[in-house]
Amino acid sequence: MRIGPILPSSGDPSRAHMVAVVRAAEDLGYDSLWTPAHTAIPVHFDSRYPYSETGRPGWDAKTPWGDAFLSLTFAAALTDRIRLGPSLIPLTITDPLTLAKQISTLDVYSEGRAELGIGAGWLVEEGWALGHPTDHRLARLEETIEILRLAFSQETFSYDGRFFKVPEVGVNPRPLQGDRLPIWIGGQGQRALQVAARHGCGLMLWWAEPDAVRDYRSRLRDAGGVGPIATAMRLAPSAGRWLELSAAYADAGTDLLILTTYGRGARITEELEEFAAQVIPTIANAGRTGDVAKARA
């Protein structure tokens, strides 16, 4: 199971915090670094946040959000090994060609370490504010995947879809990974799962419990999907149970565990350091031997 923390690019972003987390992740043996993305948060919105029981996020229009691709490029410049990806980019804040340009450039600058998490986008009011279409979001997502793979693999291409019409264009440089650059689909509904299955993408969940991950994995395979499964785990609230929970996620078939909700300020890397010491060697050894259950002992 791969393990990577979220970047501190929202809430209280700063150069010092970014440098501390990026260097800690690279030095402590984490696999990857991730960051969510928003551009313009409306003060008032009716869209339901899908990752809390109340339907409201723990942030608002006054919360600082560093740009996802600038944050990841900053991290790329400080690292040599760790993989880098947005988790995720809502299609309502971008378009397929801009997205292809950004992720391809990141892949070139990071020497082939980029991954791309994308979703249909739940905050439709943000799309309205940016002047982007918000209708038929999942169908637009499917066409976006097709356009991305053309851009990743061909020097020039055209596309004639229901929602996107692209004349013969070149979106270069192409990523060093070509069309093998991993694409993750974010979403916890059946339709998002089916999109991931149809296009051979990974499925990126958010704060799903191990039993839910196991269920999603089974449903993804039943739908013909071959991609990996990712989910996020809140680090600070689960202190004292890190090894137990990580082993449970591994047993459930989690391929990527993204760590969120860890320290702030001068202690921003403290929990990441403790987690790495307690969990990463055990989970790595269990993965090599195929006996994840022993990691709970």
- DSSP lists the bridge partners of residue 186 as 204
Domains and CATH numbers, the chain: 2-296 (3.20.20.30)
267 pLDDT higher than 70: yes
Q: What is the pLDDT of residue 73?
A: 98
CA distance 99 to 125: 20
Residues 88 and 121 sit within 8 Å (Cβ to Cβ): no
* Structure-token pair, residue 205: 């969940």
What was the pLDDT predicted at 295?
Answer: 47
Mean pLDDT (the chain) is 95
**Could you report the per-residue pLDDT of 188-236, keeping only the tens digit for each?**
999 999 999 999 999 999 999 999 999 999 999 999 999 999 999 999 9
Question: With 90 as the cut, is the pLDDT of residue 286 above it?
Answer: no
CA angle 73/116/238 to nearest 5° reads 90
203 neighbors 222 (Cβ within 8 angstroms): no
pTM of the model: 0.95
Taking only the tens place, the pLDDT of each residue in 100-136 is 999 999 999 999 999 999 999 999 999 999 999 999 9
